[in-house]
Amino acid sequence: MKHHLPQLDSLKVFEAAARHLSFSLAADELCMTKSAISYQIRKLEEQIQCRLFNRSVRQVYLTEAGQRLFKTTQQLFKELESTLLRLQDNNQQAAISIAATTYVAARWLSPRIARFSEQYPDTAIQLRHSVNSANFKLKDVDLAIRWCRCDNRKDPNRLREIPMPLFPVGSPVLLKRIGIAIDTTATGLTPQTQLNQLPLLTEDRTQDLWQEWFSCAALNLENPRRLISDANVRVQAAIDGQGLILADALMQVELDGHLLIPPFQQQLHGYGYALMQAPGRIVNQKTQALTEWLVNCDNEVG
């Protein structure tokens, strides 16, 4: 039988806005803009020819009709979620999808998945490496690990922050060539003027992390930047002596083997990675188990 219901997206937007009594919080939860939330609500009101919210300068309130619709949509979404969960739990072959770069997957995620698989051998996990793609959408995967600013902000998408201070490293040959004495037992040296023309390896980000590190180190340098988007390629380029790279603790193998050496003490704090999940996504038992594992696993890199 043909139905005349509004689009499901409009009802999802309405339910989130009604639950929060805030278009802004609904926008954060659904990864939309506030204007898109407002547009969907207005479209829904026009379709059913009924006002659902009373708007004021700083707050929105449900009308009587809005309260009735909110109660119904909550009940229906709970029933739908319960049914979908049962269907997903019955599908034992469904893989858990995790989005992460190859750099993070190999250096942080892989050993943790290995330990998880020892306890849950029947859980299939699928890695996707398009997390930095312009077309990436958090709602399309079960979990994601993304580079971000780590500042303990309230974010419904973030399950855990993994802070990673950044510090310059270079190959021993390169550092020797520019006149920086290398002592692998030292805790660091003072930045020297020989750095002025040295290429700095970076990725194509809108913000210049090297400039932020210069500020921490009280330096005023204008070194040339060499853009290398792939983190693994960037690490190898630094090992090969193409320039300095901002390292984090995920490069511990190269640091322990003295392939890359940190010549300076100064570190740039406030950045790292975040384990993320789209709010409202249906989560089955296996995905919940892996999520809790990654949230609560040790903070050591390895």
Same domain as 253, residue 179: yes
Residue 31 within a domain: yes
Which of 42, 61, 90 is the last residue in one of the domains? 90
Dist. CA 57–CA 73, nearest whole Å: 26
Same domain as 245, residue 216: yes
Residue 218 within a domain: yes
Q: Which residue range is the domain that position 230 belongs to?
A: 167-268
User: What per-residue confidence (pLDDT) applies to 189?
Assistant: 47
Phi, then psi, of 97 in degrees rounded to 5: -95, 130
Judged on CB neighbours under 10 Å (0-12, 13-18, 19+), 13 is buried
Residue 155 within a domain: yes
Which of 90, 108, 134 is the last residue in one of the domains? 90
Residue 227 Cα to chain centre, angstroms: 22
User: What per-residue confidence (pLDDT) applies to 114?
Assistant: 92
Same domain as 276, residue 130: yes
Residues paired with 162 in a beta bridge = 273
User: What per-residue confidence (pLDDT) applies to 184?
Assistant: 45
What is the CATH number for 246?
3.40.190.10
Which of 55, 90, 125 is the last residue in one of the domains? 90
User: What per-residue confidence (pLDDT) applies to 300?
Assistant: 43
Residue 289 within a domain: yes
The domain tally of the chain equals: 3
**pTM of the entire structure?**
0.66
Same domain as 81, residue 31: yes
SS (H, E, C) 70-96: HHHHHHHHHHHHHHHHHHHHHCCCCCE
Residue 237 within a domain: yes
3-state secondary structure of 168: strand
Dist. CA 301–CA 145, nearest whole Å: 14
Same domain as 251, residue 206: yes
- 133 DSSP assignment: S
Same domain as 171, residue 160: no
Residue 301 within a domain: no
User: What per-residue confidence (pLDDT) applies to 183?
Assistant: 52
Dist. CA 55–CA 24, nearest whole Å: 13
Dist. CA 15–CA 4, nearest whole Å: 19
∠ Cα 66 67 68 (to 5°):
90
Show the tokens assigned to 81: 């979620």
User: What per-residue confidence (pLDDT) applies to 294?
Assistant: 92
What is the CATH number for 31?
1.10.10.10
Residue 3 within a domain: no
Residue 109 within a domain: yes
Q: Which residues of the chain have pLDDT under 50?
A: 1, 184-193, 299-302
Same domain as 255, residue 240: yes
Dist. CA 294–CA 302, nearest whole Å: 13
